[in-house]
Amino acid sequence: MNPFTPTFGTSPPLLVGRDRDLDEFRDGLYGGPGSPERATLVTGLRGTGKTVMLNAYEDAAASEGWLVISETATRGLIDRITHEHLPRLLIEADPRATESHLTAVSFPGGLGVEREVTERHTPRPGLRSRLTELTELLAERGGSGVLLTVDEVHRQGLDDLRILGATIQHAFRERREVAFVGAGLPSAVDDLLSDDVSTFLRRADRRHLRTVGRDDVAQALAVPIRDAGRDITPDALQIAVNGTGGYPFLIQLVGLHIWRADPGQGLIDVDQAQHGVDHARRRIGQLVHASALADLSTVDRSFLAAMAHDDGPSRTSDLATRLNVDRTYVGQYRRRLIAAEVIEPRGYGLVDFTLPGLRDYLREHAASSHWASGDET
Ligand SMILES: Nc1ncnc2c1ncn2[C@@H]1O[C@H](COP(=O)(O)OP(=O)(O)O)[C@@H](O)[C@H]1O
Ligand SMILES: [Mg+2]
């Protein structure tokens, strides 16, 4: 059986390079209310492992006996937490549920449209009081707490995140056993934090997920292969490691394809590894780049297409010539794309791509302009 998991949101067979973040989070749970890790914001590009880190944070908390609410910042976030998660956990924490808990459960979302409109910008009593009730129950029963995780935080969910932030901040002030971990794309999070109302999120402990070092990548590939009953030669492993560029999604995708190259063989050799890497590199475009590009404006994409003419870092002066625009204009898009972490500065006047393989993808698709035909603004 193939051990690798090149699927967004699916935890890998071996999570590498994140021990420190997880250890510090555990320290934060032990450290009690006031520990900075109890409000954490995970950022990273697509495929760097934000969602699986949330899974890992949840597992860490659960193994300390904490209750977990795992959510995504889509419409109705506050309603789901107030009317679904908290009532469920209240019953779980107190099996001899009292009248008030049962009442809470018997009116799911039943507060009506009017309440919803008038209370949009204030913490709803239901949310705060249920969280208070739950933390008090847990404190009576030996002192565990509640972890809330919210994936894909984005400006569109600002109203709900603001309410949630105010509620959690209040719980912190009352020294309740509560922790929060949010995750989102760096540009989405920066955009969110620029709003001066989300003080809670701005103060959160930022954890930026980067690419993983070579030794960690080698472990992430070799250990699952061996655990699944096959092996890989040292040379083949080096080829596979190089092929990932340390990018977590590619670790899984390369792993899958080197495994598949010749599944009948017990040993994965250099040929299979090379074959697998080539295959993974071809597939990553559809899986990652297409969606990353879909988030950008048409002008952003033409800037990237102009960069793809170069084999290495691009000179901003060359880009101005290619795009037939002045330097101020180039500077503006350069800043936007750096903020979106699609490109990064490489010394004076130079920029390069951050995602492995994006250059090749752009070259292949620039002609068909399949991604440039969107109706995005
Ligand atoms: N630290 C890691 N080690 C090995 N594989 C990882 C790691 N982090 C993520 N992955 C793998 O990368 C892929 C993308 O992870 P995901 O959490 O969905 O990314 P994101 O939410 O940032 O887009 C998944 O297949 C996951 O198993
Ligand atoms: Mg994700």
Note the pLDDT tens digit of each residue in 9-44. 999 999 999 999 999 999 999 999 999 999 999 999
- How far apart are the C-alpha atoms of 92 and 138, rounded to whole Å? 10
Helix (H) or strand (E) holding 220: helix 214-227
> What spacing in Å lies between the alpha carbon of 55 and ligand 1's midpoint?
10
Note the pLDDT tens digit of each residue in 311-329. 999 999 999 999 999 999 9
Q: What is the mean pLDDT of the chain?
A: 87
pLDDT at 372: 41
**Is the distance from the beta carbon of residue 206 to the nearest atom of ligand 1 less than 6 Å?**
no
CATH 1.10.10.10 fits 296-366, yes or no: yes
Helix axis angle, 358-366 relative to 298-307, nearest 10°? Answer: 110
**Is the distance from the beta carbon of residue 251 to the nearest atom of ligand 1 less than 6 Å?**
yes
Q: Where in the chain do CATH 3.40.50.300 domains reside?
A: 19-208
Q: Where in the chain do CATH 1.10.10.10 domains reside?
A: 296-366
- How far apart are the C-alpha atoms of 6 and 256, rounded to whole Å? 7
Ligand 1 atom, smallest distance to 17 CA: 1
Q: Which CATH architecture has domain 214-291?
A: Orthogonal Bundle (1.10)
181 pLDDT above the threshold of 90:
yes
**Is the distance from the beta carbon of residue 198 to the nearest atom of ligand 1 less than 6 Å?**
no
pLDDT at 356: 77
- The CATH code of domain 19-208 reads 3.40.50.300
Q: Are strands 350-353 and 343-345 parallel, antiparallel or unpaired?
A: antiparallel
> What spacing in Å lies between the alpha carbon of 180 and ligand 1's midpoint?
20
